[in-house]
Amino acid sequence: MLYFNIFKAHYFAFLLSFLLVSCHANQGEKTSAKETSFKTTDSSLLFFKNLRQSYYDKEDNSVAKADIYRKQDRNKDQAKPIINLAIVHHWRNETAYIMVEPSKLLADEIRLEVRWQSADNQSKGTYFFDFGDMQMQYMFANALYKSLQDKQVLTIKSGNKWLELMPAKAEQDIFRITMEDYLRLVSAVK
């Protein structure tokens, strides 16, 4: 009887640890823009709806046959330079897209211009975003995601000024988690 209870406790602990590890997205996972197909699978959709959807505000768009998910704890301050992401799931054709949603402060910009600089000041560059199709939105969001993974400092042009983009760790985490949830939804990361 004692042997059975010890075995049962070890089995339960192993199962619990396996479940916790398998439900956590790998933050170090790198992705390629060319690898993403925008297709969802039954298992990726089930994972998102059962484990991740509760962290998002859901907007139903029956005309477009899509559900739009925005992180509940995103920064909604329209007077700051903020880029939020929305996950758009077209349930009719089983595809999902990432949508870039800049704050009102950046809404008048015809083109978003984001400068990145490495933490050691050894390298720098610029990303441009012309509000294109879903592929362009994904490529821009993925570039920002990779910069955050590499701990690069980001600044964005607003009018004639350069303002820091996502200076707070909480803003970076919201962007990163949304992108990771999206990448898992389209099976770009496992």
Model pLDDT for residues 23-81, shown as the tens digit of each residue:
444 444 554 444 568 999 999 999 999 999 999 999 999 998 999 999 999 999 999 99
Of 161, 145, 134, 148, nearest in space to 80 by CA:
161
pLDDT band at residue 21 under the 50/70/90 scheme: very low
Please state, in angstroms and rounded to a whole number, the distance separating the CA atoms of residues 82 and 102. 6
pTM value is 0.81
Please state, in angstroms and rounded to a whole number, the distance separating the CA atoms of residues 113 and 129. 7
For 25-53, b where at least 16 C-beta lie within 10 A, e where not — what string? beeeeebeeeebebebeeebbebbeeebb
- Whether 17 maps to a domain, the answer reads no
Q: Residue type for 1, please?
A: M
Q: How do residues 65-123 score in pLDDT, each as one tens digit?
A: 999 999 999 999 999 999 999 999 999 999 999 999 999 999 889 999 999 999 898 99
Q: Give the pLDDT of residue 98.
A: 97
pLDDT over 50 at 160, yes or no: yes
Long-range Cβ pairs for the range 16-23 (8 Å, 24+): 23/51
- Whether 40 maps to a domain, the answer reads yes
Domain count for the chain: 1
Domain enclosing residue 175, as ranges: 35-185
- Whether 27 maps to a domain, the answer reads no
- Whether 23 maps to a domain, the answer reads no
Q: Give the pLDDT of residue 3.
A: 54
- Whether 135 maps to a domain, the answer reads yes
